Amino acid sequence: MPDLSSFPITQRWPASHPDRLQLYAAPTPNGVKVSIMLEETGLAYEPHLIDISNNESKDPAFVSLNPNGRIPAIIDPAGPDGRPIALWESGAILLYLADKTGQFISTEPGQRYETLAWVFFQMSAIGPMFGQLGFFLRFAGKDYEDKRPRQRFVDESRRLLGVLDHRLEGREWIVDDYSIADIATFGWVNALVEFYAAGDILGLSSYSNVQAWLERGLARPAVQRGLRIPARPA
């Protein structure tokens, strides 16, 4: 049985199944990237809800795993050398899991790097911009009298949707096959509709390729399950 006691986070959030991969996350656009990936790959894992509304990601035990204090993070008791490995940053975790399982990223170098480019596009552009838009639509930013900052993120989000829509012209998935590029992006585009209620302000209906892609993704059982993991208390 793997010994995870050297990781302080396991004292705060004990592992009932230390032989399984440990996921520390919340069902946010960044968090569900990893739960969807785990559901898609079929790897055995144990999810732990990190309640970011109560600043649990700033708990010293969590910060000991991720010094940036952001979800998600994982501990894999069966790391590359047979020893436990801890990882944070959702893009890095997706790549690690893809390489570990040999799934959802091509071994052909050209397609592999193309997939990574779209993962990095999500990490550097879609996530930060959509997240800032969400701040102005759903959180404290909605009360700002000056609407110019909100408009900046509306405009940039529309531009990014246009990039994605153009890429999806004539394609089912972002790269040739379903991949971590899609898994990285689903949660953020879905949040525009389901959480931020930004469909109208962004004119989301005009991005028909994005809408069709999202519908295909949401039809996947693993995506449906992953969007709800870790489960919030009832």
Q: Note the helical H segments in the chain.
A: 9-12, 31-41, 60-63, 90-101, 109-121, 127-138, 148-167, 180-194, 199-202, 208-218, 221-226
Residue 230's contacts (CB-CB under 8 Å, 6 or more residues apart) are 23, 25, 26, 27, 31, 35, 47, 48, 49, 50
Residue 201's contacts (CB-CB under 8 Å, 6 or more residues apart) are 137, 154
Statement: 6-102 belongs to CATH 3.40.30.10: yes
Positions of CATH 1.20.1050.10 in the chain: 107-219
**Residue with token string 């230390």:** 18
Positions of CATH 3.40.30.10 in the chain: 6-102
**Residue 223: per-residue pLDDT:** 98
Q: What is the largest CA-CA distance in the chain?
A: 57
Rounded CA gap, 19 and 44, in Å? Answer: 9
Q: What is the pLDDT along the chain (234 residues), one digit of tens a residue?
A: 678 999 999 999 999 999 999 999 999 999 999 999 999 999 999 999 999 999 999 999 999 999 999 999 999 999 998 999 999 999 999 999 999 999 999 999 999 999 999 999 999 999 999 999 999 999 989 889 999 999 999 999 999 999 999 999 999 999 999 999 999 999 999 999 999 999 999 999 999 999 999 999 999 999 999 999 999 887
Give domain 107-219's CATH number out of 3.30.1380.20, 1.10.3720.10, 1.20.1050.10, 1.20.1250.20. 1.20.1050.10
Is residue 7 helix, strand or coil?
coil
Other CB atoms within 10 Å distance of the CB of residue 162: 13
For the chain, how big is the Rg over CA atoms in Å?
A: 18
